[in-house]
């Protein structure tokens, strides 16, 4: 149980694993620098902790999605460059300057608001322009890039620090996906060439997410923005194969484990149907354990229908009924080898068995990103070293 909480359900964040992942990924992408993406509370891992650990392990900077996420890092005492990956709304421009964040821009209104804020504070701001090369989400349209870049370069208070884009299918294994990634990189090079011909030379160029950084060496450029891989998960089997080729014998380590304890055990006869909906009868007389974790904590409601399991006593045990908001029930079989207080691993390793976020994603028809970011705010995050000695609860969660 974590210090300062009475809940037996906690998310353990292995800072040694995080550091090892940073080291491995830096080796793979060198000489490009690695920027650690810590948006969405570091994919559910607790952003101030992850940010500080990533910088200590050699990350060149950090990236977030929202200005508020950057402010949280600064208020937690985290230094280093912090790139905001989406253009700040005009009303957030002042906070960007105040907290020394590096903004992404892709519109004239965004540029004007930031320039005004920088002028008011008399504080120059380096910016990164994002150009749309085919993702078609956000980013300046290519025919407007030169105009926006000139406006930034001509400003007394703004500097053209970087140019970047985002890859749509770098994790794909199909030939069409590989071709489209090559097309995006070619478009990016063309847009960069137009700027350079006009005398505009961004110091930093970047295109690669985790998938691009690992599977597409041409996308690494000056830096890579690594998100999901930082946390020990990979976006696709194709990226896993690419990592095995790039770093033979090495592997990323999952950073987060979701653990709880058995709080009740009861013996039920064959045919009993535990939990809401009475969805499935027990096939044999069984000991059924209750565990205080549910979909409000990030255990997907669909996990039962997908054949979800947990680890108790180093063995896989199937869910015995529907996942509820605060609890799950687990079929521990007829042996009776389960007791109140036993550790339950929902995500992580126990006794040589492992359940990963990717496994949950496959069982529930989603992606590992959603599993990790979906772990609820009421679950305490606990920083641990590899041997789980001296854990401590992280403040604020």
What is the pLDDT averaged over residues 284-296? 98
Query: What are the pLDDT digits (tens) for 326-340?
Result: 999 999 999 989 999
Domain 256-393 bears CATH identifier 2.40.37.10: yes
- Give span(s): CATH 2.40.37.10, the chain: 256-393
39 is catalytic: yes
At 110 the three-state DSSP class reads helix
Indicate if the pLDDT at residue 44 is higher than 60.
yes
Beta bridge partners of 198: none
Q: CA-CA distance, 317 to 299, in Å (whole number)? A: 15
C-alpha 199/C-alpha 216 separation (Å) is 29
Phi and psi at 122, nearest 5°, equal 50, 50
Beta strands in the chain (DSSP E): 10-14, 33-37, 61-64, 82-84, 102-105, 125-130, 158-164, 204-208, 223-226, 256-261, 264-268, 286-291, 309-312, 315-318, 328-331, 343-350, 353-355, 381-384, 392-393
DSSP assignment letter at 306: T
What are 221-271's pLDDT values in tens digits? 999 999 999 999 999 999 999 999 999 999 999 999 999 999 999 999 999
Q: Say if residue 396's pLDDT is above 70.
A: no
Distance set, CA 290 to CA 231, 296, 318, 328 (Å) = 29, 16, 12, 6
Examine the residue annotation and report whether 369 is marked as an active-site residue of this protein: no
Residues of the chain with CATH 3.20.20.10: 31-246
pLDDT in tens, 200-234: 999 999 999 999 999 999 999 999 999 999 999 99
Residue 115 has pLDDT above 80, yes or no: yes
Q: Kindly name the residue from 39, 43, 106, 261 that is annotated as catalytic.
A: 39
Average pLDDT along the chain? 95
How confident is the model at residue 394, as a pLDDT? Answer: 35
Q: Which fold has domain 31-246?
A: TIM Barrel (3.20.20)
> One of 43, 276, 295, 369 is an active-site residue; which one?
276
Residue 193 has a pLDDT of: 97
Label the pairing between strands 204-208 and 223-226.
Answer: parallel
Cβ atoms of 351 and 371 closer than 8 Å: no
Residue 252: per-residue pLDDT:
97
Residue 6: predicted pLDDT: 77
**Residue 24 main-chain phi, psi, to 5 deg:** -65, -45
């Amino acid at each position: 149980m974590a210090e300062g909480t009475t809940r037996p359900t906690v998310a353990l964040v292995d800072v040694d694993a995080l550091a090892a992942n940073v080291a491995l990924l830096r080796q793979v992408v060198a000489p490009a620098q690695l920027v650690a993406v810590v948006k969405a509370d570091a994919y559910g891992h607790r952003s101030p902790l992850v940010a500080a650990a990533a910088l200590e392990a050699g990350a060149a900077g950090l990236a977030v999605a929202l200005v508020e996420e950057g402010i949280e890092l600064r208020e937690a005492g985290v230094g280093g460059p912090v790139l905001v990956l989406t253009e700040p709304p005009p009303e957030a421009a002042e906070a960007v300057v105040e907290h020394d964040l590096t903004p992404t821009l892709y519109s004239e209104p965004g540029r004007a608001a930031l320039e005004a804020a920088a002028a008011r504070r008399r504080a120059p701001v380096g910016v990164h322009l994002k150009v749309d090369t085919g993702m078609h989400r956000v980013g300046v349209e290519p025919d407007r890039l030169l105009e926006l870049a000139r406006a930034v370069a001509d400003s007394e208070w703004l500097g053209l620090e970087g140019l970047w884009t985002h890859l749509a299918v770098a994790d794909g294994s199909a030939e069409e996906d590989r071709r489209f990634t090559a097309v995006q990189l070619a478009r990016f090079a063309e847009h960069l060439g137009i700027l350079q011909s006009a005398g505009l030379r961004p110091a930093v160029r970047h295109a690669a997410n985790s998938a691009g950084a690992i599977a597409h060496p041409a996308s690494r450029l000056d830096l890579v923005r690594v998100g999901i891989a930082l946390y020990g998960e990979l976006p696709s089997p194709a990226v896993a194969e690419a990592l095995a080729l790039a770093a033979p014998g090495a592997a990323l380590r999952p950073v987060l484990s979701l653990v709880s304890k058995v709080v009740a055990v009861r013996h039920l006869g064959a045919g009993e149907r535990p939990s809401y909906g009475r969805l499935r009868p027990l096939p044999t007389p069984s000991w059924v354990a209750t565990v205080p974790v549910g979909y409000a904590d990030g255990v997907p409601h669909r996990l039962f229908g997908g054949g979800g399991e947990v680890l108790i006593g180093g063995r896989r045990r199937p869910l015995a009924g529907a996942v509820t908001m605060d609890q799950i029930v687990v079929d521990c079989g007829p042996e009776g080898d389960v007791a109140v207080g036993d550790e339950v691993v929902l995500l992580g390793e126990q006794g040589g068995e492992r359940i990963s976020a990717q496994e949950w994603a496959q069982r529930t028809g989603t992606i590992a990103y959603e599993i990790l970011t979906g772990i609820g705010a009421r679950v305490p995050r606990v920083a641990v070293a590899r041997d789980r000695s001296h854990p401590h609860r992280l403040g604020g969660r």
